[in-house]
Every structure is written in structure tokens, then in C-alpha cells.
Amino acid sequence: MTATPDSIKECFSSIAPSYDRMNSILSLAMHKKWNSELTASVQGADHLLDVCAGTGEIAFQFLNENPKSDAILLDFCPEMLELADEKGKDLQGRFTTQVGDAQKIPYGDAAFDAVTIAYGIRNVANPLLCFREVYRVLGRGGRLSVLELTRPNGLLRMGHALYLSFLPLIGKLVANKGTPYSYLARSIQGFAAPELLMEQMSEIGFVYIEKKKLLGGVATLITATKC
């Protein structure tokens, strides 16, 4: 499958109904711990923008942990956000969903004090444009936290590469969708190193940029602050 914006959107539309279940299976449920690391990094924020929000798992965990906060879920895939609206019924009034482009965030300057991007920045055509938009919509002192699947170093990388080669088969067996998981495997293997993302954040003006490897670098959490 050729990775164009339309084909990526089609990919996520096709796997939306099985997305949460497949995340749990493919990560051996480790994504729950990684998600907790992400939401902990933005604790106390009043207004959260969750970019590439998917079915709302990150935003809803954040809202449950911060009862006085609200959130906007932004994603380019309407099918994902429809599932989020259904999942978040108990949190109605505290969140809204918005179909939109992470490179053209449809909100005003300094509208949020935290932005999260989980498992989504590798699907954005130009991450630098996304980070510029995030910087714009964050208020002074606002926090950006990016959680992404990455490639571990050393011997773990060999096993990780072997595991990724089985993703299409697992997707076919569990979700009856092999082709989208072929794309997902390639997107992990071919995505930029976390250090490059950190350089882009610094170029834009973010400060206090830090990374934390999770499970030996199978996932990485990058945090940054708008000065």
C-alpha cells in the first residue's frame, strides 16, 4: 500500500472497529503502561488537545485522572472519532471531537495548556508543521508530550524487526485486515529517530526537551515545554 494521506486515512478507517483490541494484542497490553506515562506527563492541565486522538483512549484516561479538566480530540479519521464519541458517553460535556489535520490545527493561539500525540506523529506527512502548529496553540509554559512506537537498539532491535514482520499475519488472523498492518509495520521501521523529532522541537522554540525510552526503546516518550 502506497503511503499517501488518503491511503493512510483509509487504512485507519478500515481498522477502526478493531483498533483498541489490536493495540492490546500487538503490544501485549504494554501500551496501557506507556499511555499512563504519557498522561502523567501532562497531569494538572486544564485544557488538553489530543492530536491524532483515535478512539480517545489517551484523552479519556487523562480526563478520568483530572476531573476538573476538559479535552478536545482531533483526528483526520471520522470513523475513529465516532467510536470515541460512543466510548466517552460518561464524560459528555468534558470533551469534544474534531475532524482535522494535525498540520493545520483549527484552533486559536494559546488555546491549550497541554497537547498529547500518541502513536500518531509517524502518520503525519510533515511532523515539523505539526510541531509548529502545536507551539502556536499552546500557551506559555504549555506542555507537549509525544508517545511513539520506535526502534530499539542492540539485540532487541533484531527481535523487534522479526516481530514487526509478523504484524500483517496477526492483523489478518485477529482483525481480518492484513494490508493496513503491513503499512503500520513499515511506518515504525521507516520513521525518524526520536532525536530528529527533538531537534525539530528545539528549532521551533520548545525548551526542556527530554526523551524516555520505554521497554528498551520499543516506545519513546518525548516531552517539551513552550517557553
Measured CA to CA, the distance from residue 170 to residue 57 in angstroms comes to 22
Question: Alpha-carbon distance 196 to 198, whole Å?
Answer: 5
- pLDDT digit string (tens) for 36-65? 999 999 999 999 999 999 999 999 999 999
Query: Which residue shows C-alpha cell 506559555?
Result: 140
Model pLDDT, residue 224:
98
Q: How confident is the model at residue 179 (pLDDT cuts 50, 70, 90)?
A: low
Q: Do residues 100 and 33 make contact, with C-beta atoms less than 8 angstroms apart?
A: no
Entry field: residues in the chain: 227
Neighbours of 211 (CB within 10 A): 17
Coil, strand or helix at 20: helix
Q: Which residue has the higher pLDDT, 77 or 160?
A: 77
Q: Please tell me the predicted confidence (pLDDT) of residue 65.
A: 97
Claim: this prediction has a pTM higher than 0.85: yes
* pLDDT 10s digits, 3-32: 677 777 777 777 777 667 766 766 767 889
> The domain 30-155+192-226 belongs to what CATH superfamily?
Vaccinia Virus protein VP39 (3.40.50.150)
**pLDDT tens, residue by residue, 88-109:** 999 989 999 999 999 999 999 9
pLDDT at 175: 59
Return the bridge partners of 50, or none: 73, 116
Indicate if the pLDDT at residue 221 is higher than 90.
yes
Q: For 184-215, what is each residue's pLDDT tens digit?
A: 777 777 777 899 999 999 999 999 999 999 99
Domain ranges (residues) in the chain: 30-155+192-226
